[in-house]
Structure 1
Amino acid sequence: MTMQMETRRAARPAAPWVGGKRLLAQKVIARQKEVDHTCYVEPFVGMGGVFLRRDFAPACEVINDYDREVANFFRVLQRHYVAFLDMLKWQLTSRSEFERLLQVEPETQTDLERAARFLYLQRTVFGGKAQGNFGVTRTGPARFDLTKLVPVLEDVYERLTRVVIECLPWQDVIDRYDTDGTLFYLDPPYYGTESYYKARFGRGEFTEMADRLRNLKGRFILSLNDCPEVREIFSNFDVEKVGVTYSLSRKVDARGQRGELLISN
């Protein structure tokens, strides 16, 4: 990487996320460091499993998620950090509170209330899965502990300095930010898991994505699960297989080493 980059302190995501990149992040970031870029864009940022762990930044950074809860959370944290912490001050880990907040329509809340609800549910739900079950553990403390959460939020807040936050369809993000100096990192829902996500993503969009990436001015790195359908759709690009171990599912045959692909141009 020869272009001028600012050094940034890496941060951890503030909550779990289905498809979070904790295990794959360093491999992705190592590939990113090999690509010269003046603009970095993530059309599917989720909770920032890769973005927040980047310890370098070009002149322009853009994070996007079409899930309104995700975009609102990052915007509130970036612009109303102190007020947001005040919203969380008296929150405790409680099954009754978890179930109460599940029933609240986020559209009826203020942006601050909405962000607080989102963070609480993401930290207390099993596996970071939206609309899932209350997560419990017999080996650790309560999942929503503000004494441990505040340092994490502070690091995320600092990492968001000068970052552009969008809430657009991934197609619009590519159209808006594609230049010769742009590096996109795409982390869409994995093939066959589209229904896990609140932001709608159709099976046919993988083919559309391949078509758009074929005509990209900039560079891209795309992470997806290794399956015949994905290999066929993205067969015109460089495909690298990497192994990652997962353990979210309770089913024994769903655990263990899984093949993932890093696809790039």
Structure 2
Amino acid sequence: MHTTKTACPPAAYLGGKRNLAKRLCALIEATPHRAYVEPFVGMGGVFLRRPTSAPVEVINDFSGDVANLFRVIRRHYEPFVDELRWLIASRAEFDRQNAMDPRLLTDIERAVRFLYLQRLAFGGRVVGRTFGVRRDQESRINLGKLRAELKLLRDRLEPVTIEQLDYADVIRRYDGAGTLFFLDPPYDETTGYGIDFGREQYQAMAEQLAGIRGQFILSINDTPFIRETFARFAIAEVETTWTLSSAAASRGKKVTELIIRNATA
């Protein structure tokens, strides 16, 4: 483990861990490991805020848009940023980009589109995006600031393995005695992530995690079903604030979430 520069998540994302990141990072730091793996990285709300890095780091997301964005930032930073400079924050441009079929775009064009939409979408939603109105902060498409943030992100991603696999496959491939998995799956009874994640998936996840050689930390919303499904593990309650946008943090809803582990040390 060695100290590393933290980086800002490139955009908002539904279920991001902005308000819990400090607590989760402290828990991760206190858990000995040589390999750190995130099967549901999203926009890296925890991964990028960790003050230290492990010798082996793997980020994964089943979303092709997410995996492509991180790959492009790492490998094609200059042409990616060059494409961004033509975009402005406007409802008309947002709607135009949102109507595009990403399958018809180049990798760089697809990454630009995804970052643009996620930075401007209300609540970081992936499905059913709408243009987010901001009354108390500047546009999130400010290339002067964005360029510096993305450069730091590119540097942070340099030693990282980027995967686009099903979470169960990632766990199977990277499990080992020195591996720590941090899991931030879609929340129970919550939509808008862009993938189907039914309750049978949580049950399968619990079964798989019960048999791993490594350790895991799982962050999830508090529902009776989740408590029952993961009852065999150590469960801790934490209070946090749910918001639909960071600008609304002071108006957020206080909720209880769960941190679930297969170790208590």
Range into which the TM-score falls when normalised by the shorter chain: over 0.9
Pairing 1:31–2:32 present? no
Give the letter aligned to residue 101 of structure 1: Q
Return the offset for 1:200. 2.7
Match in the other structure for 1:248: 244
What is the root-mean-square deviation of aligned Cα atoms in Å?
A: 1.2
Q: Deviations over 1:34-56 (max 9, x none)?
A: 11111000000000000000111
Return the offset for 1:136. 1.2
Match in the other structure for 1:11: 7
CA distance in 1, matches of 2:252, 2:116: 27
Return the offset for 1:160. 0.5
| 1:154 maps to which of 133, 151, 155 | 151
Which runs of structure 1 show a deviation greater than 6 angstroms over 4 or more consecutive aligned residues?
Answer: none
Query: Which consecutive residues of structure 2, in runs of 5 or more, have no partner in the other structure?
Result: 246-250
Return the offset for 1:255. 4.4
Return the offset for 1:213. 0.4
Pairing 1:140–2:132 present? no
Percent identity for Structure 1 against Structure 2: 49
Return the offset for 1:229. 0.8
Range 143-152 or range 160-169, more displaced: 143-152
Match in the other structure for 2:40: 44
Match in the other structure for 2:92: 96
Q: Deviations over 1:186-207 (max 9, x none)?
A: 00001101x3111332221000
Match in the other structure for 1:165: 162
Instruction: Using structure 1 for the length normalisation, give the TM-score.
Output: 0.94
CA distance in 2, matches of 1:208, 1:70: 24
CA distance in 2, matches of 1:83, 1:158: 16
Q: Superposition pairs for residues 1-265 of structure 1, below 5 Å?
A: 5-130=1-126, 131-193=128-190, 195-248=191-244, 255-265=252-262
Q: Deviations over 1:136-163 (max 9, x none)?
A: 1122222211112112111111110110
Q: Secondary structure at the match of 1:196?
A: coil
Q: Deviations over 1:90-128 (max 9, x none)?
A: 210011110011110000000000000000000111111
Query: Which consecutive residues of structure 1, in runs of 5 or more, have no partner in the other structure?
Result: none
CA distance in 1, matches of 2:95, 2:234: 45
Contact 2:124 2:244 in 1 (8 A): no
CA distance in 1, matches of 2:72, 2:113: 12
Return the offset for 1:83. 1.1
CA distance in 2, matches of 1:17, 1:103: 19
Q: Secondary structure at the match of 2:186?
A: coil
Instruction: Using structure 2 for the length normalisation, give the TM-score.
Output: 0.94
The number of residue pairs the alignment matches comes to: 256
Give the letter aligned to residue 112 of structure 2: A
CA distance in 2, matches of 1:155, 1:66: 24
Contact 2:184 2:218 in 1 (8 A): yes
Give the letter aligned to residue 162 of structure 1: P
Q: Deviations over 1:1-39 (max 9, x none)?
A: xxxx12110111011010001101111111111111110
